[in-house]
Structure 1
Amino acid sequence: MKFKTFIYLLFLLLSFSGISQTFSGIVLDAKTKIPIESAAIYFDNTTIGTTTDSEGKFSILYTDANQSGLVISYLGYQTETILDYRQKNNITVYLKQTNNVLDEVIVYADDGLTRRQKLRLFRKQFLGFSSFAKSCKILNEKDLILRYNRKKRQLTASAFSPIIIENKSLQYVVFFDIKQFEINFNYVEEINNVFEIKSVNFSGKSFYKNFDNFKENKAKRNREKAYKGSVLEFMRALYNEALEAKGYQIFSKRFKVNPWDYFKIQQISNTSSKRVLLDKPVNILYDKNYQTKIEFLEPAILIDEYGNYSDVTKVMFSGYLGNQRVGDLLPLDYGLQD
């Protein structure tokens, strides 16, 4: 596929070393002040989470290196994210109920595409095209709000609640809270189901949970396969200046080049993070078959040893890495438990 894809995910700086600290709180209904039981509490895009008890209380461990937002979510309520939990503790979180009346009316509006057509497009561009993606199933499609704008030739998606994806290959249940999802088309023939895609943009918060009947050998094998050639592995290799050792070759104008003539790495004083500069786009070849173009929309990004980088909205992948979707992704604490 030749179209460009932006994947904007909130990335996590996570370390399993150092002193763990506990963050505690209570979750209440903003209007009634009644405790909310079983609200989801998790660090974005990881496997680290918990739920509130019958009194709305929770506690969760984190380390000094953790830079991810703490997400508080419950069906029928607006999601809250806490960024400054280091400066707070034993806080009270008031969740506001959502009003979905308007969306319930709009969702069935005649916009030129049937819901079946929109679901087919959404599934493919949200889950992906790989064997991992093909093993995925969305368990609550009824919660999806899909809208097509004929004038803009654009399909957008939102949802009343986090989308629940069952990934049989990777043995994860993924809870994905959509912040943005849009497909922009160059050309559309609605009747003949012809859709020429220009770009896909999506972002959101996610939490990963192992299957209840977790098959360890299958999961380990497939997760290792998904990790190889992923954005996460590439960023970790970039930090460690080990691109070629991990099988990544860099090309400029069809010529293989020394990666470090293009990627400039600078250690940031008193931190484990590095500043990475790239002044012009280059191409990445992985495993002699998979090609990607990478471009920084700003002169530099910050990256840490775990492969987390910012500002993620300023890094554009097209090609192989740009085509990776939710069905291919691993949590950002993958491989760090050991």
Structure 2
Amino acid sequence: MITSFLAFSQKHHTIKGQLLQHSDSSPVFNAHIYFDKTAIGTTTNEDGLFAFHFLENEKQSNIHISCIGYKIDSIPISEFQNKPLTIFIEEDKLFLSEVVVSPSDPNDILEKAIENLGQNYPKEKISKTIYYKESVKQNGKPIRLLEVVATIVSDGFSDSRQNPKKYELFIDQKRPDFNYDSTFEGGNGIGVLHGLLWTEAYLNKRKLRKYNVSFDGKSFFRNHEVYKISISKPNSLGTTSMYITVDEFAIVAISQSFVNPSRKKPDSKQQFQFLAFDLYVDFIQMKDGYWYIHTIDDIRESISQDGAITKIIRSIRTTSVGEIQDLNKKNRIKMNTDLYKYPTEYDPEFWNHYNAPLETQEELKAKQEFSE
């Protein structure tokens, strides 16, 4: 099973860098930086910056860089040489299969993925440690920031039930946060966290069969050859892409996007309307052969009646998966808990070595002002 990099018995090292697009030098957000043996690491922030912590015995390893839509890259840690490294990655031009693809093929691929849900995803109850971040900006100014590390114990998947709603959640650590607007109607931290943990939207037989399906080609995802399947509804402003492994027909990544071209303010009957959103989920394959949810990202931009633009970024990262253990019942969280007010232990040493995404300069400034 995979384990987190937190181990105080060994010396920690840190490498830093920035990830940019090769075509225009713009920052690449939410790219995964990880060791290939675990696929657990960190991600780039909105400026493409990252810091990656590792142990002494990993100094000779390579780090891998993976982001949907870009070519996978591998870099020896030694190349960083105690200074930040700027890395350029290229877009992934999906290559079409040499075999002529008939119109029915993409539907066959999706059907096989649906048929194999029960054998590709864990059935037994599992325990996962997760990192959760919620960042809210209004008109470009940060107004809320929340970062927690939690343990979740949940049911697995089966052929008939793809939505493990039965779970328990325990908060282990909370980083210093800020909340300039407690009246903001965007959840109280925990409500959103519970919602993101539901997986029905990603693996559900009934929903998957209601879309138009097309084949976009093949690519690679963490050393697996994958089909890229596009799914859409007629007259919809949203698009969905699924990445399905060629060998096991496992759904290993899903991305959804929506853009509202009008950008008009909502009328008096509604408080806000969405301008755009991006939803992303990917999975990681463990030694037992099953695929586990690894990352969930939910990025939304909306406009209110007064014209204020709000951007919300909510992210979950799996940092370890293991067997069920005795958990501190005092840390068990209920749905009505407000995590911005919830008192938890803060251990600076823990966070200094934890592979959380770097905070942006705006977030650091807002956190300092809020604490003062």
TM bracket, shorter-chain basis: 0.3 to 0.5
Relative to its length, the structure with more helix (as a share) is: 1
Question: Scaled by the length of structure 1, what TM-score is found?
Answer: 0.38
Question: TM-score, normalized by length of structure 2?
Answer: 0.35
